[in-house]
Amino acid sequence: MPRTSEFPNSDNLAALVRYYRFHSRIYDASRWLFLFGRSRLIQMLPTYCQPNHILEVGCGTGKNLLHLHRIFPNASLAGLDLSPAMLDRARTKMARQDHVPEFIQQAYDRPIAPDVPYDLLVFSYTLSMFNASWRQAIGSAYADLRPGGAVAVVDFHDSPVAVFKKWMACNHVHMQGHLLPELRSGFHTRFCEIYPAYGGLWTYFRFIGEKVERPFSDVGSLISKTAGKT
C-alpha cells in the first residue's frame, strides 16, 4: 500500500474549493459517466443496517442524501463537504424534504461527533480525493461511528494505465489500490467487491464494513491516524 509521500502533492484545499466552484454547476449532469455504483451502494444498505443517524462525507450536491432520505425516511442526516458551492446546491435539493439535513462545511481530517456517534457513514468517491489525509479520514470515521455502526464506501480502486492515473491525479483523484486494504484493516468486512469500468480502463469498488470492538492498542493505533500519525 502506498504511503502518503508517494503522492506528489499534499491536499490543496483551496484548489479543491476552486475546482468545485465551477464543477458544482455541471456535477449532476456529467458525473454519471464515470461515478459508477453510487445508487447501488445505497440500495444495498438496508440489508446491512437500519441507521437513525447518518453522515455523508463529501456529500457534494446532495444526490446521495436525497436517496438516503428516501430509503431511511426517519433517519437524521448530515452532509459534510469542503466546497460551499456544492453545499449550496445540496441545500437547494433537500430544502423541500421532511427532514432537512445538517450541513457542515469543513475538511474531514478529525472526528466531528465524539459525543453523538453516527450509525452510518457514507463515502461516495470521496476518499480517493483525500490526497494526504485519507488515512485520517478513515480513522475519523471509526471514531465517529457507534460500536456496530456501518461505513459504506464506493470509490475508484486502481488502473493498469499509468497515463490515465496521472490524468486523474490532475483532477485531484488518486487510484493506487490503497483504500481497500486500509478499510478492511479498520472495519469488519460485511461486503466488498471490485468492478471493471470501460473494459478495464479502471476499477472501482463497493465496501460495507462494521465497527467492531478492538483491543485498546489497536484502537489507539487507528485513531492516531486522525492526527496524521502514520
Q: 3: how many CB neighbours lie within 10 A of its CB?
A: 9
Three-state SS string over the chain comes to CCCHHHCCCCCCHHHHHHHHHHHCCCHHHHHHHCCCCHHHHHHHHHHCCCCCEEEEECCCCCHHHHHHHHHCCCCEEEEEECCHHHHHHHHHHHCCCCCCCEEEECCCCCCCCCCCCEEEEEEECCHHHCCCCHHHHHHHHHHHEEEEEEEEEEEEEECCCHHHHHHHHHCCCCCCCCHHHHHHHHCEEEEEEEEEEHHHCEEEEEEEEECCCCCHHHHHHHHHHHHCCC
- Examine residue 8 and state whether it is found in any structural domain, yes or no: no
Report yes or no: 149 and 120 within 8 Å, Cβ to Cβ: yes
To the nearest 10 degrees (0 to 180), the angle between helices 134-144 and 216-223 is 130
CA 11 – CA 28 distance, rounded (Å): 24
- Examine residue 6 and state whether it is found in any structural domain, yes or no: no
Task: Please write the tens of the pLDDT for every residue from 62-121.
Answer: 999 999 999 999 999 999 998 888 899 899 988 888 888 999 999 898 999 768 899 999
- Structural domain harbouring 143: 13-227
- Examine residue 73 and state whether it is found in any structural domain, yes or no: yes
Among 3-17, 61-75, 213-227, where is mean pLDDT lowest?
3-17
Q: How far is CA 42 from CA 7, 98, 120, 154, in A?
A: 30, 19, 11, 10
Amino acid in position 117: P
User: Considering the chain, what is the average pLDDT of its residues?
Assistant: 83
- Examine residue 4 and state whether it is found in any structural domain, yes or no: no
Amino acid in position 150: A
pLDDT class of 31 with cuts at 50, 70, 90: low
pTM metric for this prediction: 0.82
* CATH code: domain of residue 140: 3.40.50.150
Residue 28 has phi, psi (to 5 degrees) of: -65, -30
Q: What is the number of structural domains in the chain?
A: 1
Task: Please write the tens of the pLDDT for every residue from 193-205.
Answer: 999 999 999 999 9
- Examine residue 162 and state whether it is found in any structural domain, yes or no: yes
